[in-house]
Amino acid sequence: MGAETEEQAKRDDEIERPRARPITESQFLSWKNQKDAAASARKAEASRKRAEDIAAGTVQMNGRELFQHEPWVFDNSLY
């Protein structure tokens, strides 16, 4: 058994594996900025779509949205 594992280890050493290229800090920051920009664009698009749907009345508003768009609903002076 010991000989088999040594032979296997020797074969594994002989196989050349592709090495990962290290990235520089500037490459990482560039990637990060692109990723953040894409995420912020998706979030802005979703927010714009939600606002359009609320204005059209096609979706139900949550409490915060209802308070922002129809504050008279929360007027307790009527009671």
Model confidence at 10: pLDDT above 70: no
d(CA 6, CA 10): 6
d(CA 30, CA 26): 6
Q: What is the reported pTM? A: 0.57
How far, CA to CA in Å, does 18 sit from each of 10, 15, 21, 24? Answer: 17, 10, 9, 19
Question: What confidence score (pLDDT) does residue 71 get?
Answer: 84
| pLDDT tens digits, one per residue of 20-50 | 889 999 999 999 999 999 999 999 999 999 9
